[in-house]
């Protein structure tokens, strides 16, 4: 059987030899399953779940426990490490699975090795490295079912100089939503995502290599996953002292309604 090598403790080790609860998912598995982000990966990962909040921070849970809060200032108790760089914000999960080599889900406290903000666990993500020879790929995916839309991805990798290699990844998605608002006729939540990642590996000496990483993300969401379920009867009534029992507001004139969340 092929040996599974992980870097959960910041060095390459066999998965069978480390005293840590780790689930390793290869980049090939992720690509074959069409998993774009960690929210799509969660159903395949026991004791791990993530909720992509329409507001600020995403909610990451390990073994049923996590940091619950949507403020952009929240630092989740499940940390994320990408190519050795620690991220203190959960939004990295939106684009973490683009052109990756492996994802390791570490369950349980990881403070002694990774540091603070990993009291419940950590996600160790490794991207594909720049290659010694030139290579490239282009993919186009069309979805005609729920969340109709398109995803394109282009990858270029190879040597730049004798001791310098680079890798460039560009990913673009434009998809419609999957919740139909029966009042407006729109589908929610639609999105347009653009991700650009550039990697440089510089061999300073025979034993020392420096890595430079740049990533740009633009995640655009339109609408929240909720729909109007009831509009109040038309009427012009001042907002001050309004009693909902009188039902004097309507959706068009006063923009007042009841909504149902999904």
pLDDT for 248 equals 47
The one-character DSSP state at 262 is -
| Mean pLDDT, all residues of the chain | 78
In this predicted structure, what is the pLDDT of residue 245?
Answer: 46
CB 63 within 8 A of CB 52: no
**pLDDT given for residue 77 in this prediction:** 81
DSSP bridge partners of 90: none
Report residues of the chain scoring pLDDT below 50: 236, 238-242, 244-248, 262
**In the chain, pLDDT over 70 holds for what percent of residues?**
75
pLDDT of residue 262: 46
**What's residue 8's pLDDT?**
65
Specify whether the CB–CB gap between 77 and 118 falls below 8 A.
yes
Please indicate, yes or no, whether the overall pTM of this predicted structure exceeds 0.75: no
Q: Which residues pair with 151 in a beta bridge?
A: 141, 173
Q: What is the pLDDT of residue 252?
A: 60
Task: Determine contact, residues 20/8, Cβ cutoff 8 Å.
Answer: yes
Domains and CATH numbers, the chain: 5-127 (2.170.130.10), 135-222 (no CATH), 234-261 (no CATH)
């Amino acid at each position: 059987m092929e040996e599974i090598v992980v870097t959960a403790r910041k060095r390459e080790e066999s998965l069978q030899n480390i005293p840590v609860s780790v689930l390793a998912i290869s980049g090939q598995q992720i690509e074959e399953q069409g998993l774009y982000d960690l929210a799509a990966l969660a159903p395949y990962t026991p004791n791990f779940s993530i909720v992509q909040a329409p507001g600020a921070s995403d909610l990451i849970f390990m073994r049923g426990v996590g940091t619950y809060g949507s403020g952009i200032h929240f630092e989740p108790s499940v940390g994320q490490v990408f190519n050795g760089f620690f991220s203190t914000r959960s939004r990295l999960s939106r684009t973490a699975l683009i052109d990756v080599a492996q994802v390791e889900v570490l369950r349980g406290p990881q403070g002694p090795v990774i540091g603070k903000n990993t009291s419940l666990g950590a996600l160790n993500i490794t991207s594909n490295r720049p290659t010694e020879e030139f290579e490239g790929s282009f993919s186009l995916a069309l979805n005609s079912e729920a969340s109709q839309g398109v995803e394109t991805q282009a990858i270029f990798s190879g040597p730049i100089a004798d001791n310098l290699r680079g890798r460039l990844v560009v990913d673009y998605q434009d998809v419609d939503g999957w919740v139909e608002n029966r009042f407006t006729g729109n589908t929610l939540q639609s999105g347009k995502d653009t991700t650009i990642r550039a990697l440089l590996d510089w061999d300073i000496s025979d034993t020392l290599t420096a890595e430079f990483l740049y990533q740009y993300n633009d995640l655009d969401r339109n609408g929240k996953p909720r729909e109007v379920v009831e509009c109040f009867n038309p009427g012009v009534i001042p907002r001050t002292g309004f009693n909902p029992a009188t039902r004097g507001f309507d959706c068009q004139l006063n923009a007042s309604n009841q909504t149902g969340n999904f």
